[in-house]
Amino acid sequence: ETGVTQTPRHLVMGMTNKKSLKCEQHLGHNAMYWYKQSAKKPLELMFVYNFKEQTENNSVPSRFSPECPNSSHLFLHLHTLQPEDSALYLCASSQRTSGTDTQYFGPGTRLTVL
């Protein structure tokens, strides 16, 4: 599946580094999402963008900064992260016409914070 792509697929960074995760969807959807998946924890919704506007921030620490320049691209800027932020970060998109839209996930970025 190549509908939603994410780069990089793997990232190792120190706590003082600044890095960005990129997500691109080729499905013509109007909504994009960032999720965090930690070991032994449910998928956690982080941010929701609908038509480039942020509609949900699920109490995410400010060291995570999302950016959505258009409906096809989504970024997650990372700075001064903590080791507990190590996780799989998943991007998803959907065509948000109702509360029952299907979300399509990208392959994720496996992040390790040293």
Which residues of the shown chain bind other proteins in the complex (CB under 8 A)? Answer: 1, 33, 41-43, 45, 48, 56, 90, 96, 99-108
Whichever of 16 and 41 has its CB closer to other proteins, that residue is 41
Kindly state the smallest distance separating residue 107's Cβ from other proteins, in Å: 5
The least distance separating other proteins from the CB of residue 53, rounded to whole angstroms, comes to 14
Give me the least distance between CB of 78 and other proteins, in Å please.
19
Cα-Cα-Cα-Cα torsion 61, 46, 85, 70, nearest 10 degrees, comes to -90
